[in-house]
Chains A and B, each alone.
Chain A
Amino acid sequence: MNSKMANSTVALRAYRDGLHLIIRPHLSITEVEAAIQQEISRMNRSLAGVSVQIDLKSPTLKKEEIELLSSKLQETYDLTVRGVEVADEPVPPPIAAAPTTHVISQTTDTRPPRDSEPSRIIPHTIRSGQTEEFPQGSLIIYGDVNSGSEVKAGGDIVVLGTLRGSAYAGMNGRLSAVIIAMDFAPLQLQIGNYVNRSSVSQEPRGYPEIARIGAEDVIIVEKFVKF
């Protein structure tokens, strides 16, 4: 119930251009602060050093309140506010010029979380009934992930073969995690708490593809060109 309340007040979302803090209208500053506290504690990972954009829906908080909020975010959670946007409409779609990557932090960030993270290499095909789980970081599979098997990672999942089973990236709630496979024919994809089944193609297309969370909070699968 708590998380639902938090979602209706404020929400943290990862988009192509980075992390957005979305604040719903008709709220007092104390309500917003309490909701932010709740939302961040729910993520159970540190956001230190990450930059965030605040998206406000009108009618909005006062200017002094926004400044106060920015400094509080900086002090309490070590979050840098890189901009404030006020919108009448829902959050705009990702910027078209942005590269097809999934950075949560901007390139100017000195500590992208992925760098310090371990990865595990699975040097063989994962067969039906087998599960590979690596909450500490990313998984790289030198082989196929067959139908009936499952791969889970705290970070990204890279399959240097055909993905036919289920893949769950960002299992600790990281919404910027991606799933990449040379051939993409999964049973089910999950990133963070988003699940995708409908738009998944059962026939491999013959080129590598990447799955990530897109603008409308759905998992999108598209041709993988480069990071």
Chain B
Amino acid sequence: MGRVIVVTSGKGGVGKTTSTANLGTALALLDKTVAVVDADVGLRNLDIVMGLESRIVYTSMDVIEKQCELSKALVRDRRVDGLMLLAASQKNNKDDIQPEQMKAICDKLRTTHDFVLVDSPAGIERGFSNASAGADEAIVITTPDVSAIRDADRIIGLLQNARIEPINLVINRFSPQLVGNGSMMDQDDVLDILNIELIGVVPEDSGVINSTNRGIPLVYEDGSPGAQAYMRIARRLTGQRIPIHNFEQKGLLNNIVNWFTRKK
């Protein structure tokens, strides 16, 4: 029986879809069978980020309306074995789907896949309840800024009320330079507020924009700091114990610069 994990954040633009695409691909690269599900009905993006937009014929809406079988709606990613995408309908909106229908799809997918990653839309309304309906675990994405953290905090409360556990945290777009000169929260500040398990820190990586535009998830091109971070998170998801990477800048010069530019 596979694990259904909802990827969510509350706030928009913090990297839910990018993280879903990269974690799904990374898990497939680790020889797991993965289904990524776009739950952002009406505003779908996961297909673009994964570079599969031209191959989508059926969507989850067609499956719900019994226009086609679930297996037919799944789009196979040809670059790696065992990775499937279930796209969201772009014509409908979030109220056209019931949470029970999403749960039924997730429950079916988990019988054939090791991991089912559900890409949640921003917000706390119907889209979120649809995305989390079938999930037994959650990954909350946040960036190290106060508004994203407050929204993440809200989402964590909702996930806890829905008895979704464990809830793991990914801190995205982390910038060691900004932390170094005191203008960005470090990971301890974030964890102090959110108080959940940290599963990974993804550094700010300009390669993400290019990879999104080309539809090639970062993890295919190993080597960039972002790709390595997503690979480490995927490994942790499979149960490997890898210590959290420390992105703090090292070196005597940096220490001296940090000493003088620190706040407080």
Interface residues on A, range: 10 to 19
CA–CA, A125 and B153, complex, Å:
10
Q: What is the predominant secondary structure among interface residues of chain A facing chain B?
A: loop
A144-B195 contact in complex given A128-B150, A128-B151, C-beta closer than 8 Å? yes
Is B237 part of the contact surface with A, judged by Cβ < 8 Å?
no
Interface of B is mostly: helix
Contacts of B193 in A (CB 8 A): 144, 146-147, 164
A129-B153, A144-B195 are known contacts; what are 13 more A-B pairs with Cβ within 8 Å? A127-B153, A127-B154, A127-B157, A127-B160, A128-B150, A128-B153, A130-B157, A144-B193, A147-B146, A147-B193, A148-B154, A164-B193, A203-B264
Neighbouring A residues of B153 by C-beta, 8 Å: 127-129, 146-148
Counting CB contacts under 8 A, is B156 at the interface?
Answer: yes
CB distance B157 to A128 under 8 Å?
A: yes
Q: Which residues of B contact A203 (CB under 8 A)?
A: 264
Say yes or no: B146 contacts A129, CB within 8 Å: no
What A residues does B151 contact at CB under 8 A? 128
Name the residue of chain A whose CB is nearest to the CB of B151: A128
Contacts of A127 in B (CB 8 A): 153-154, 156-157, 160
The CA-CA distance from A127 to B158 in the complex, in Å, is 9
A129 partner, pick from B149, B157, B195, B264, beta carbons under 8 A = B157
Residue of A with least CB distance to B263:
A203
Number of interface residues of B (CB under 8 A): 15
B residues neighboring A (CB under 8 Å) = 124, 146, 149-151, 153-154, 156-158, 160, 192-193, 195, 264
- Residue among B153, B192, B193, B264 with most chain A CB within 10 A: B153
Contact indicator A147/B150 (Cβ below 8 Å) = yes
* 8 closest residue pairs by CB, A with B: A127-B157, A128-B153, A128-B154, A129-B154, A127-B153, A148-B150, A128-B150, A146-B153
Task: Give the docked Cα–Cα distance between A21 and B192 (Å).
Answer: 45
Most buried by B among A127, A146, A148: A127
Distance from A147 Cβ to chain B, minimum over Cβ atoms (Å):
5
Among A125, A128, A143, residue most surrounded by chain B Cβ atoms (within 10 Å): A128
Note all chain B residues with C-beta closer than 8 A to A143: 195
A128 to B193, CA, bound (A): 10
> Cα distance A1–B210 when bound, in Å?
65
Contacts of A147 in B (CB 8 A): 146, 149-150, 153, 193
